Amino acid sequence: MFTWQLWCTLFCVLWLYFLWTLCRFYSLIFTIPGPIGYPLIGVALKVRRREDVLKILKNFLDRYGSFLITWLGPIPSFVTTDPQLIQDILNSQNCLDKANVYRVVNDVAGLGLITAKEPHWSVLRKMLNPAFGLNALTSLVPTFNAEANSLLKMVEPLVDSGEQDLLPLLQNFSLNVASQTTMGCGVNENGNIESHQLLNISKNP
């Protein structure tokens, strides 16, 4: 009995010490408006369905303004639609490391530009910078325009025909644009991307 009480006391002391080391961080966090949610889980119950996430975030932004803090479990998450804040964050040298959630992506997809941490991320980014230069992106504009026009032609017959599932069309569009911009050739040159092996694999894993 005494041992159990001792462990509980030790745990409480360590937990209070942990909170004390973060007191300045949390004092700054709570100056930013936003929904706190429930203890320990935050707003996790509200966003448990993937299709509801954007709707709930929009409601939060309408209520609290263009930037807010919300909690997913014990982790605070910063949400903003302010272009200047987004630019400051993306350009900041202090915001290069990835959040812990990227560990899951790393386990599934492997180490890459999306999941790499500093300083490995900077090395990968410097290698890819030439591919995303202004001249390189400008040269791809005709491809984007041609594929966008092709997509519009496929969508036009669906006008006034009720609710439609556009996801397959958008998947085809994305795959063809990615193929042309990275490998220089389209996968739907015959006008029928549905029979392409890549899409068949993705639909029947």
Pairing of strands 67-72, 75-80: antiparallel
| Percent over 90 (pLDDT), the chain | 0
Which tens digit of pLDDT belongs to each residue from 28-55? 888 888 888 777 777 877 777 777 788 8
Closest C-alpha among 10, 31, 128, 117 to residue 76: 31
0.85 exceeded by pTM: no
Sequence spans of domains, the chain:
22-95, 96-131, 134-203
Which tens digit of pLDDT belongs to each residue from 99-150? 766 676 666 666 777 777 777 777 877 887 787 778 888 888 888 888 889 8
The pLDDT, as a whole number, for residue 190 is: 46
Which tens digit of pLDDT belongs to each residue from 152-187? 888 888 888 888 788 888 888 888 888 777 776 666
Q: Residue 1 pLDDT > 80, yes or no?
A: no
- Paired with 193 in beta bridges are none
